[in-house]
Structure formats: structure tokens, C-alpha cells
Structure 1
Amino acid sequence: MHSEPGQPDGDPVEPIDPVLPVPSADPTAAADPSAGTGGVDPSVSATRDIADVAAVEVITTAAVHLMSAAAVKCGLAEDGPQGRGADYLDLDEARKLITALAALVTAAAPDIGNQHARSLRDGLRSLQLAFREASAFPDAPGEGPGERFTGSVV
């Protein structure tokens, strides 16, 4: 058996599967990663699970996470100590999240279908308006978060 060039003879080089995790060099790690999981490695099981999820669901889930985080950063959380999430208000962070959401929704809309895109656009627009309302000095029309992707919301 021949090794790869530049490798010592005896230990052939095995390609690393980009989907599966690299085995741990930690001697305290479990010797059998499939122990307690019915003989299936948890990473293999997770890969199979994600393979069964439609792209539209992954995109929608990512958008919902961005929406939720942006809503909190716009001060829309209801469980803050001073009510209505005032303690969580962070418009710099909200701007980044809303812009990322706008880019995702705009890029994905043609592929996810009108039914999904419409609800994502509605949520995005609500966040853009909430950001404008929470701002002491609102951006000029077309300059707000995500508006370079969506156009002006006012």
C-alpha cells in the first residue's frame, strides 16, 4: 500500500468527510459515539434529519430567527423589566439583523413561492417600520435598514 506523497509510509491518508465531524483527539471522549443512540452515530442521525428538511423550511426558519432577534433589538419584547422590552433596545444590532433579513427574503423570494415570501415580506416591513418608530432620528426614506434590498417602506 502506498501513502500520499509527503506522508510517511504505513499510514495511508484518509479523506475527511466535510459533513461528518472530525474524530476527537480527546482521550476522555466516548470510545463509541453511537453508544446510547441505538447504534447510530448522532452526527449521522443529524445529517439524515437535515437532509429530510425542505429548503423552504430552512430558509423560513432562518428568517424567523432573524425576525425574532430584530424585534427584541427594536424594543418590541414584552418581558423587559421596564415593560415593552425597553431594556433590550439596541438599534445598531437591529439594523444589522433587519438588513440581513431583507437580503435573505429578497434573494429567496423567487425560489420559496409567493405564499412563504408574502408572510416574510410582511414581517420584514413591520420590523422596518418599528425600527423607524424607535429611532430618535429616523433615516431618510430608502436609507433605513434593508431598504437597499426592499425599497423605501414610507
Structure 2
Amino acid sequence: MKNIAVYPGSFDPFTNGHLDIIRRAHPLFEEIIIAVAINSKKSSLFSPEERVEMIGKVFKGWDKIKIDTFEGLTVDYCKEKNSRVILRGLRAVTDFDYEYAISLMNKKLAPEIETYFLMADNEYSFVSSTIVKEVARHGRAVSNQVPDIVGDALTKKFSV
């Protein structure tokens, strides 16, 4: 069986913290699927299609990286993709508490699927999509927190 990791998230927008997790996980897996979660109850700045397109541009030319969307439970998506690993990044203790609870539920639902946690690099430990959107909404630069393609998209969104 191919060693596939699923990295799920809303990625609204995709940040350099997300990129750092993928960069560091890249040598560990034969394939990493960046799975953009679709949540119709959540208001997003970018559509799922826009997020997939931006992330695809960030990883253009990278082997082993796939970008997809999904609805529903991550463990069900992992089973569909023959993945036994959920990849998650942790920035702080608050992330750990939340992610640990989810990993325990996922383990109950699908004992064969493991959650791998990677700690955020210090440089990105404060970066979150929510904070990036708020800073960009007020016209401030976020170029150190997001890939260029995402920064350009944020500028366009908020300059309308």
C-alpha cells in the first residue's frame, strides 16, 4: 500500500505555516493530499475552487503533492483515498488540545488511521488564516505570512 498522508483544512487562506508543514512532511510520504474542506455552514473568503487553484500554483512542479476538496469526515475521505495518515500542524498548546480531541474521535471511528502532528516552526507559530485575513482586510502587508500568489489574491479581494 502506498504511503499517503492527507493534510485536511479549510486553508482560507493557505499560509506559510501550512507550506512549512508540507515542506517538512514531503520527504516522509509517497504522496500528500492537501484536502480543502468544504463546510457549507462556514463563511469563507475564498471559494473551494479558488483555494484549490491557489494551492495548486504554490505547489506547481512539486512531486507527490495532490490538491483536492472534500465534504464530511476526514477519516471517511482518508479511507476513500487509501490513506492511513492524517497530517496536522500544531502551533501552540491550544492547537494541541483541540487537535488531540479530534484525533481521539478519529481513532474511535477509524482505528487503522493515525494522526501525525508536526510542530510549527517558530517563525510561523503565530500565523493563522484568521489573523492573516484580518490584517489583510485592514490593508496591511501579509507578505511574510503567505505565499505570493495568496498575498496577491488577498489584495484583490480586499481592494474591491
The TM-score normalised by the length of structure 2 is 0.24
**Which entry has the higher C-alpha Rg, 1 or 2?**
1
Q: Tell me which protein shows more strand as a share of its residues.
A: 2
Q: Tell me which protein shows more helix as a share of its residues.
A: 1
The TM-score normalised by the length of structure 1 is 0.25
- Quick one: higher RCO (CA 8 Å, sep 6+), 1 or 2? 2
